[in-house]
Amino acid sequence: MNKKRAVRWTVCFVFLTIITAVFFVLELVIGSARLSFGDVLGALSGSGDNAAVTIVRDIRLPRALAAALLGGALSVSGFLLQNFFNNPIAGPYVLGISSGAKLTVAISMTLTMKYGILLNSAEMVGAAFVGSMISMGAILLLSGKVRNMAQLIIAGVMIGYICSALTELAVTFADDANIVNLHNWSMGSFSGINTDDVKVIALIVLPVAAAAFVLSKPMGAYQLGESYAKNMGVNIRGFRILLILLSSILSACVTAFAGPVSFVGIAVPHLMKSSFGTAKPIIVIPASFIGGAAFCLICDLIARMLFSPVEISISTVTAVFGAPVVIAAMLSRRDQKGSM
């Protein structure tokens, strides 16, 4: 009995890793500049046409790495929240994190332009990050006072609405160009991520995801409900804070560098749970990370190449793939409940 599960898990992991590797390579090989596989290999090691080396090393490689890392971050973030709220359709943006980021980005875009201050990209990233963290701080404060999960979700949604309203206020004073820009930003994109960005992303995402993995045991206990988790020695208050913190940092990182990318956080964990046939965090967390990486790599490839040279925003593609998964998840959950 255990053997069967072990086999299934191994097969799934191997399959996932292969898919991720394949699409990673495809991201490197496919692009608007035609390069053969050999060219790409050469470019990676630094030999060959200068342009090819720049394209592969400075454009495609950072982008592929970013898509993989950020996709993984989003999925893990989503799973953490689903565990926290005991709701399989909770997502990383349900707590209003992306709305907070959008607000600070909107403010930076409109106000600074007005006064002629020029922002560089690090500052835009910083602005998005700060916005996410402020939303997160608000949620953390509330989670201490609020006993009920449903109330916390509502609080998060309200924070999201407040941020959106303030964003609209900022936008009223903006001209059309700014509005378009903000809209474009809020649809998400992996374009323009360079090697330095990837280093920062890796520095944030990898340790935090590892920390989430270490939390597998209390998360497994938490799946039984708070009373049982408490009985098994889990410090509920600390655990809740840690979950929110880790989840928020991951999604803040994604929002800061790529804008809000929707559906990945909800769809991928669900797909992983279905494929692996379990909800044990110790399996689902690494699976979600790899699955999320694969998902984003695939979506990014499509976003880039479908209407080349025009790039579709990544959220459009993830929505097309992710929404059916989420709908299927909702339906199956209803079925299961109904059959009892």
Smallest distance from another protein to CB 282, Å: 6
Could you say which residues in the range 290-329 bind another protein, by CB under 8 A?
A: 308-311
Could you say which residues in the range 26-45 bind another protein, by CB under 8 A?
A: 31-33
Regarding 17 and contact with another protein (CB under 8 A), the answer is no
**Nearer residue to another protein within complex by CB, 18 or 330:** 330
**Nearer residue to another protein within complex by CB, 45 or 227:** 227
**Nearer residue to another protein within complex by CB, 18 or 117:** 117
What single string gives the DSSP state of each residue in 265-309?
HHHHHHHHHHHHT---HHHHHHHHHHHHHHHHHHHHHHHHHTTTT
**Of the candidates 66, 78, 20, the residue with the CA atom closest to the CA atom of residue 269:** 78
Smallest distance from another protein to CB 5, Å: 8
Could you say which residues in the range 41-100 bind another protein, by CB under 8 A?
A: 51, 54-55, 58-60, 86, 88
Smallest distance from another protein to CB 67, Å: 15
Residue 34: how many CB atoms within 10 A of its CB? 8
Site string for another protein, 227-256 (x = CB under 8 A): xx-xxxxxx-----x---x---x-------
CA–CA distance, 179 with 183 (Å, rounded to integer): 6
Among 20-28, 39-47, 69-77, 170-178, which window interacts with another protein (CB under 8 A)?
170-178
Smallest distance from another protein to CB 333, Å: 8
* Locus of tokens 């793939």: 321
CA–CA distance, 265 with 72 (Å, rounded to integer): 9
Would you state the structure tokens that stand for residue 316, as one six-digit string?
Answer: 């459009």
CA–CA distance, 100 with 161 (Å, rounded to integer): 10
CB-based burial of residue 146 (10 Å sphere; 0-12 exposed, 13-18 middle, 19+ buried)? middle
**Nearer residue to another protein within complex by CB, 74 or 128:** 128
Smallest distance from another protein to CB 295, Å: 20
CA–CA distance, 41 with 59 (Å, rounded to integer): 15
CA–CA distance, 205 with 187 (Å, rounded to integer): 21
**Nearer residue to another protein within complex by CB, 163 or 249:** 249
**Nearer residue to another protein within complex by CB, 46 or 340:** 340
**Of the candidates 275, 219, 269, the residue with the CA atom closest to the CA atom of residue 73:** 269
How many chain residues touch another protein (CB under 8 A)? 74
Site string for another protein, 105-124 (x = CB under 8 A): ----x---xxxx-xxxxxxx
Would you state the structure tokens that stand for residue 125, as one six-digit string?
Answer: 């990233």
CA–CA distance, 74 with 256 (Å, rounded to integer): 12
Among 91-99, 126-134, 151-159, 287-295, which window interacts with another protein (CB under 8 A)?
126-134
Smallest distance from another protein to CB 153, Å: 16
- Sign of the C-alpha dihedral computed for residues 253, 259, 262 and 264 taken in this order: negative
CA–CA distance, 119 with 124 (Å, rounded to integer): 7
Could you say which residues in the range 255-284 bind another protein, by CB under 8 A?
A: 273, 277-280, 282
Per DSSP, helices labelled H in the chain are 2-29, 37-45, 50-54, 61-85, 97-114, 121-145, 149-172, 176-186, 195-214, 216-222, 226-231, 236-258, 264-276, 281-305, 314-339
Could you say which residues in the range 203-222 bind another protein, by CB under 8 A?
A: 214, 216-217, 220-221
Could you say which residues in the range 136-155 bind another protein, by CB under 8 A?
A: 137, 140
Regarding 164 and contact with another protein (CB under 8 A), the answer is no
**Nearer residue to another protein within complex by CB, 45 or 338:** 338
